[in-house]
Structure 1
Amino acid sequence: MENAENKEVVVKGLIPIGNVGGGLGFGYASLCVAFAANAFGFCFADGFAIAIGVVLLGFFVIYLVGGLYFLKQGNTLVGSIYIAFSVAFGLYGGAVNIAGTICAALGIPCDFTIAAFANLLGGAYLLLLLPAMKGFSKVDFICFLFSGIGVFSFGLAGLGFAPFSMVGGASLAVAAATAYYGSVTTCYASVGKQLPVGKPFF
């Protein structure tokens, strides 16, 4: 999604490497929509945990690969964020949701709070990194801001503070919209068409 710091290197005779950020942005937007829909009561609560758990495990691999891509491009900031979310969302979120569903069916206790703490850390991580994003476009900055608020809020909800689930859902709805639009702008930029993304806030 974020492409401000990426530099494309074209080597004569070779196919240039594309920017994977557009595809990752679309994937993240779809994930945010799922969490927001569940928070607003549009999903089937009994089956959501196992369904989202499988999806999140898939995102562990996708985000890990995406993070390594950005690190290889020299973009430590965005690369680190993707790897952190592959752990917080993909590994903790995916494994705990699947394990919790299976354990509930077998009558075995399962502690979901480890995923809640991972969400707290993941959300706080994004919020703490916001000052480093001062050169980012408004679209990207807003996406990271509301992603941080949303993930942190779901962490609080997972610890028993239920009202924060709605805060998380609303925040990730905003993150989904900006991530989706950012994905589209990245693809258009690759063919020389610049869509408005807003100048940096500061």
Structure 2
Amino acid sequence: MSLISPDKLALFNQNLLHESPEAIVEFVLGLSSNPVLTTSFGKYSELLLHQVLQKAPQISVLWADTGYNTQTTYEHCSRLCDKYQLNLYTARPEYTRAHSEYLWGEPGLQNPNHLKLTEILKLEPINRAFEELKPDLWFTNIRKGQTQFRDQLDVLSLSPQGILKVSPFFHWTDDELEAYAQKHGLKLNLDYQDPIKALSKRECGIHFSN
């Protein structure tokens, strides 16, 4: 059951349009009893963690580790886990990287098995994690302008399962995010790559399926 009805989404989004991420986070946490935060440990990942953990330090932090992250991303993950003492839940595929490559090849849009690999390496582990965690609120760092699908969303949106998704930085630009990071002494992951998503303007599917 969703925390709010679809009819209320437009009103809430209108009210939150000019609110700070701090105000957005505080508002939605007041509605939730079991929130989760998903992260890729990508470029701006620390900003969302910094913002949410001030209000919910024990929140479950969900990461889908496909096995294809860069060394820098693994280092970034380790540093943030230590810094914030993250309650990290890592969702991993049932196949190792070597086994999946043997069966279906490497991820990439040129591979005819790419959609199958997306399902096996990212979507199935994430969906399994959501089934186990059963959140009623989902913090995510998606933003307007990233993909055509995300342009249709807003600060608040509903997943197909009715989970309330919250994107506190939804309307922020890269310049605004980088200024925020500099102000608060936060690190950016400048070597993040996602071969499952493959293209920056392509939706990998997580936000379709949850």
Structure scoring higher RCO (CA < 8 A, sep ≥ 6) equals 2
Q: Which has the higher helix share?
A: 1
Q: Which has the higher strand share?
A: 2
